[in-house]
């Protein structure tokens, strides 16, 4: 189960070398990748794994193998810069371990995810509160709510705030690196272009449609932003290879973007069908159960967030109406029920 994929080396058309460093980022065997970029102005690490279980050890083993197995004149302490592609724990949770091993690299992230790093404890409290309000509105029953919130809290315990030295800015490329802000999966999600190679992080993956959460939980996430970000990536020319934060490399970026867009169209149709064919207006929780059948544990929470992302997208664009407006007006935080307009 916990089989680690090999370290891979890639060359860009403008002379950079990229090492893909595999890590088991979650105890269930989920694999994530960090990338080491050599040959630019300074050795740069992109992402740092989760810090759970063996993740940081996998990262360090990978960094050492770059010299030992690939013969690079590179030492872990040579890294001068760590770029975090987005504020999800499987990408930054291992950052303090990485910094300890490296020494004192400059750390950067997009401004919209900066607080996740610098004010982590505050961020957890605010995000947890937003999630709880969201789940009540989504129609989750009290017992279930307690269970889901416990699960959510459990996944956040090992990380502490740390400092960010500069922010990633689309208008300020670094030597050999261009940045694109591609929110949707995460508010501060960035993709990084290195010549003919695109590091797409979790914005574009080859097999999975990246997880999207409702924007009412966190600004700049959700289906609307995600679709805009896909369109932004569709304008890129000359990308030969796309490397994500998980899963295998993508050879045809534009074909993959097209698939992801089609899946979103289908999902929107499916949500409308579910609501249309019900004999009463539905909550997000009811829609989620039909949209994502047979989900357990943490996946229930992800399904609820994702169903809400699709419902919000359709509501904002005038496809849905709130059916229990009177209740919504008079109760504190009632669950919302949707009908098709
Ligand atoms: Zn992510
Ligand atoms: Zn990820």
Say if CB 58 and CB 19 are below 8 A apart: no
Residue carrying structure tokens 């999902």:
267
**Residue 146 within any structural domain of the chain:** no
How do beta strands 190-194 and 178-181 pair? antiparallel
Domain assignment present for 75: yes
Asked whether the beta carbons of 80 and 104 are under 8 A apart, the reply is no
Evaluate whether residue 278 is within a structural domain.
no
Give 14-34 pLDDT, tens digit per residue: 999 999 999 999 999 999 999
Q: For residue 1, how far is its CA from the centre of ligand 2 (angstroms)?
A: 18
* DSSP secondary structure string for all residues of 64-125: HHHHHTT--S--GGG--EEE-SSS-HHHHTTHHHHHHHH-S-EEEE-HHHHHHHHTHHHHHH
Residue 203 CA to ligand 1 centre (angstroms): 8
Is position 31 within any domain?
yes
Residue 155, pLDDT score: 65
The CA 88 to ligand 1 mean position distance, Å, reads 5
Say if residue 124's pLDDT is above 70: yes
Q: Which ligand is nearest to the CA of 246?
A: 2
The answer to whether position 331 is within a domain reads no
Please report which helix (H) or strand (E) contains residue 169, including its range: none
Question: What pLDDT is stored for residue 3 in this prediction?
Answer: 81
Q: For residues 290 and 278, give the distance between their C-alpha atoms in angstroms, rounded to a whole number.
A: 11
Of the bound ligands, which one is closest to the alpha carbon of residue 116?
1
Does 82 fall in a domain?
Answer: yes
Domain interval for residue 244: 8-126+154-262
Contact 138, 289 (CB under 8 A): no
We report the CATH number of the domain holding residue 68 as 3.60.15.10
Nearest of 176, 216, 221 to residue 203 by alpha carbon: 221
Residue 320 lies in a domain: no
Count of the separate structural domains present in the chain: 1
Give the span between the Cα atoms of 292 and 135, in whole angstroms.
16
Rounded average pLDDT over 184-208: 98
Q: What whole-number percentage of the chain has pLDDT above 90?
A: 91
Distance 21 CA to ligand 2 centre (A): 14
Q: What is the mean pLDDT of the chain?
A: 95
Dist. CA 173 → ligand 2 center (Å): 23
pLDDT the model gives residue 1: 46
Within a domain: 273:
no
Query: Distance from the CA of 58 to the center of ligand 2, in angstroms?
Result: 16
* Span 243-293, pLDDT tens digits: 999 999 999 999 999 999 999 999 999 999 999 999 999 999 999 999 999
- pTM here is 0.96
Each residue's pLDDT tens digit, 63-82: 999 999 999 999 999 999 99
CA of 14 from ligand 2 middle (Å) equals 27
């Amino acid at each position: 189960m916990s089989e680690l994929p090999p370290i891979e080396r890639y060359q860009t058309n403008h002379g950079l070398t990229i090492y893909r460093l595999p890590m088991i980022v979650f105890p269930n065997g989920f694999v994530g990748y960090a990338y080491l970029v050599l040959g630019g102005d300074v050795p740069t690490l992109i992402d740092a794994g989760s810090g759970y279980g063996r993740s940081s050890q996998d990262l360090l083993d990978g960094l050492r193998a770059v010299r030992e197995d690939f013969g690079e004149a590179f030492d872990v302490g040579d890294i001068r810069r760590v770029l975090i592609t987005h504020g999800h724990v499987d990408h930054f949770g291992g950052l303090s371990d990485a910094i300890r091993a490296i020494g004192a690299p400059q750390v950067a992230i997009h401004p919209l995810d900066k607080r996740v790093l610098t004010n982590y404890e505050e961020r957890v409290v605010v995000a947890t509160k937003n999630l709880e309000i969201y789940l009540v509105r989504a129609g989750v029953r009290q017992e279930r709510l307690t269970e889901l919130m416990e699960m959510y809290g459990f996944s956040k315990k090992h990380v502490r705030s740390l400092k960010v030295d500069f922010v990633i800015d689309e208008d300020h490329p670094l030597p050999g690196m261009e940045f694109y802000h591609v929110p949707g999966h995460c508010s501060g999600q960035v993709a990084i272009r290195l010549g003919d190679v695109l590091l797409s992080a979790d914005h574009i993956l080859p097999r999975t449609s990246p997880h999207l959460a409702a924007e009412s939980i966190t600004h700049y996430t959700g289906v609307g932003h995600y679709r805009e970000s896909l369109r932004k990536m569709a304008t890129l020319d000359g990308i030969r290879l796309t490397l994500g934060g998980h899963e295998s490399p993508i050879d045809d970026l534009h074909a993959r973007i097209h698939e992801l867009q089609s899946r979103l169209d289908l999902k929107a149709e499916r949500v409308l069908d579910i609501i249309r064919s019900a004999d009463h207006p539905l909550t997000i929780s009811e829609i989620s159960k039909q949209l994502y059948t047979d989900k357990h544990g943490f996946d229930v929470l992800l399904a609820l967030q994702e169903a809400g992302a699709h419902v919000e997208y359709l509501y904002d664009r005038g496809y849905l109406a709130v059916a229990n407006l009177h209740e919504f007006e008079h109760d504190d935080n009632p669950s919302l029920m949707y009908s098709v307009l």
